[in-house]
Structures are given as C-alpha cells and as structure tokens.
Amino acid sequence: MARTALVTGGTRGIGAAISRGLKAAGFQVAANYAGNDEKAAAFKAETGIEVFKFDVGDHDACAAGIKAVEEALGPVDVLVNNAGITRDGWFHKMDAAQWSAVIRTNLDSMFFVTRPVIDGMRARGFGRIVNISSINGQKGQIGQVNYSAAKAGVIGFTKALALENARKGITVNCICPGYIDTDMVAAVPEKVLEGIIATIPAGRLGKAEEIASMVAYLASEDAAFVTGAVMTVNGGQYIANA
C-alpha cells in the first residue's frame, strides 16, 4: 500500500510541484490549502490529488484537518511543511499584525501541523518530515525581518526535531530555496527581477520542479541516513555552512 504524504500549501507554486512530484513517486498525496477554493478545485481536477482546506496557523484547524486527511487516506508517513506567507515592510514601520501573521503561518505551523502526526510516525518506526525554509532565513533580507526570523526558526526546528527522532526511523530535513519561478516571483517588477537574477551565479531563477525533486529524494527510502540537513537550492546565490 502506498504511503501517504501531506503537503501544506500544496495546490499552488512550489507546493503544487511538490504534490505532483510525490504523486509521481508513488505516494498518496493530500494537498492542503488555505482559502482559494476555485484554484484548489482546479488543481484536484487536473491532478487527481485530494485537497484539504485548513489554516496551518490555527492549532485546532490543523488537528481537525489532519484527522480528515488520515480518515480519507490513512496515517501520514511523509509531511512537507511548505505553506508560507509574506507581509513585507521595513521593521520600523511594521505593525504587530504583520509580524504575528507571518510568525503564525510560517513558524507556529511547524508545531501545529507536525505535532498531530509525530506520535504515529514514532509508533510505526517510519517518518519523513521535510520543512521548506528560505534563502532569506539563512542570510536575512531587507523588508523581511518577520519572514527571515520565521524561516530561520524553521531551520532550528528541523535540527532539534531530527535529533529527537533519529532512533525512531524518522528523518527531518530542511530545504532553503532561493528565488524560484513562481507566480509570486513573477509579480515582481521586471527591473527588480532583472536585478535579482543578476545576483544568481547560475544566471536564472530556479524551477519549482527542482525543489520538488529534492523533496521526493528526502521522502524516499534512499534518504534514510539523511537527517538534520539543510539543503540550499539557490543557484549559488548564497553558499551556507549550515
């Protein structure tokens, strides 16, 4: 029987590519989404992947949503914490709502989504958790103090959780994408985008499928000895030691 994978933010952008990639790798996939029912329905119709609506920044909604996933598809063996938002602005102009929204969705969600599945993974002696951080969680970014703080927190969360669960057959790893060719990046003004690409040694934006391929590897049996790792996928834009 195919293992079940849950991808948060799994119907659009990088998340959609991850969902497709895991399905192609033989997993039963549940794609979570937050609010765009029309796009989620179109994604389900196109891919045949089941979609589940719940807010990853809401503790109770996550508990109910994951229960629905497991009732429909079985226990979650692979979890990809991908959902994230931005509320950009200079810190000296940032308000509490901008700060809290990003921390809740990008960092609190690590607990809200992972906690309901970790006991089952430990009991079964198998689990794959892949957390999507960001290049800006490694190096920081002007106008993204909230986002950079949350994504840096994801890296710390990954390393500690990996240590706690390695003997239980559970791997926990992190991917830090650079600038990826998604709708969000495409919305950046052309001149700004040209400036960004000029700082990438590879000379181009990344592809969502390149992130998805890394996720598929980390979710596989072949990656059983890889845990606590931080994978930088950014075309050489930022080369990190950890």
Q: Which run of H or E residues covers position 143?
A: none
* Sole residue written with tokens 């960001």: 134
Q: Check which CATH number belongs to the domain holding 19 and give it.
A: 3.40.50.720
Q: How many CB atoms lie within 10 A of CB 242?
A: 9
Q: Is residue 239 a part of any domain in this protein?
A: no
Closest-CA residue to 50 (of 89, 103, 5): 5
DSSP β-ladder status, 50-53 and 28-33: parallel
Residue 118 falls inside a structural domain = yes
Nearest-angstrom CA–CA distance, 53 and 15: 14
Domain assignment present for residue 237? The answer is no
Sheet-wide strand order for 230-233:
50-53, 28-33, 4-7, 76-81, 127-132, 170-177, 230-233
**Catalytic positions:** 147
224 located within any domain:
yes
Q: How confident is the prediction along the chain (242 residues), in pLDDT tens digits per residue?
A: 789 999 999 999 999 999 999 999 999 999 999 999 999 999 999 999 999 999 999 999 999 999 999 999 999 999 999 999 999 999 999 999 999 999 999 999 999 999 999 999 999 999 999 999 999 999 999 999 999 999 999 999 999 999 999 999 999 999 999 999 988 777 778 888 899 999 999 999 999 999 999 999 999 999 999 999 999 999 999 998 75
Number of domains composing the chain: 1
Is 208 a domain residue?
Answer: yes
SS3 197: helix
Determine the structural domain holding residue 227 and report its residue range: 4-232
In a domain, 242, yes or no: no
Residue 188 in any domain: the answer is yes
